[in-house]
Amino acid sequence: MCAVTTNRFATLLADRAPVFDGGYGWLLQERGLPAGDCAELWNLQEPEKIAALHDEYAAAGASVLTTNTFGGTAPRLAMHGLEDHVEAVNRAGAAIAREVADRHGALVGGDLGPTGELFEPMGTLTPEQAQGLFEAQLRGLVAGGIDLVLIETMSDLAEARAAIAAARAVCPDLPIVATMSFDTNLRTMMGVRPADAALELAAAGADVVGANCGRGPEEMSVIAEQLVAARPEGVLVLTQSNAGLPQLEGAEFVYTVGPQALAEHARSLRDAGVDVVGACCGSSPEHIAAIRAAVTA
């Protein structure tokens, strides 16, 4: 894959494979997390289960482990009565990943997901308020020992920019990775196109821009092409596709794209100019092992 040595993330990655990890939420549910419960609370209550999944991804070849803090902002935690535990939940999530990463020579990405709040004028959240929410989350993540900031599954550029601003304020020396979910006719839910996202996120200060989640490999290939074509010089591109879309089989939803198919997709992305790959919903350590083999062959 492409190497841009002046890029902060590329420098941090050094001689590691350009591979992120995969999905967490659905695997945690398979391992006992009740549907609708707070996954981030397991950082405090079931840390060994979070560590075990990190360990499986690291053993599969992931060079970056994602903290279990996707819903770690106060508004998301408030849905479970945990809004007063932002720092503790995030610090614990980072510390769990840090311990596993150190044993495998991997990196830790501090995960920031959407707050779930709408920005003005459609909602009441201001950019300044959003930045404050992300700063509170980042203080815990930094205390736990992250190597980089991972801003993911964003649909609103204003929210993504607020998260980037928070990272630049709290941990200015850490690389910033920012991805959006283009799941609505090749746009985000808020209408953002991949090319615009690449330019805006890079201008805001992201070292890596990209896409995650979405509707599966076929659409991700189109999105990746647009991201690669638009990204400014020196900025890397990351893609993390879902393992297809879940389909109901009997009483269970099953993702339809297996490890080898997702690995072939990753190889095609590499050939198209994508710098770093991983996976998202429906993926597992088996998918990441196949991706690692495909992009390092």
Reported as a single tens digit per residue, the pLDDT across 102-114 is: 999 999 999 999 9
Contacts of range 130-134, beta carbons closer than 8 Å, 24 or more positions apart: 130/158, 130/159, 130/162, 130/163, 131/162, 131/163, 131/165, 131/166, 131/169, 132/166, 133/73, 133/74, 133/75, 133/166, 134/73, 134/162, 134/163, 134/165, 134/166, 134/167
Looking at residue 2, its pLDDT comes to: 44
38 annotated ligand binder: no
2 annotated ligand binder: no
Looking at residue 65, its pLDDT comes to: 98
Looking at residue 182, its pLDDT comes to: 97
| Contact assessment for residue 159 and residue 120, using Cβ atoms and an 8 Å cutoff | no
- What's the pTM value of the predicted model, to 2 decimals? 0.96
> Is the CATH code 3.20.20.330 the one for domain 8-296?
yes
Looking at residue 286, its pLDDT comes to: 98
Task: Please list the ranges in the chain whose pLDDT falls under 70.
Answer: 1-5
Q: How far is the C-alpha of 279 from the C-alpha of 292, rounded, in Å?
A: 11
213 annotated ligand binder: yes
Looking at residue 5, its pLDDT comes to: 43
Looking at residue 3, its pLDDT comes to: 41
Domain ranges of the chain: 8-296
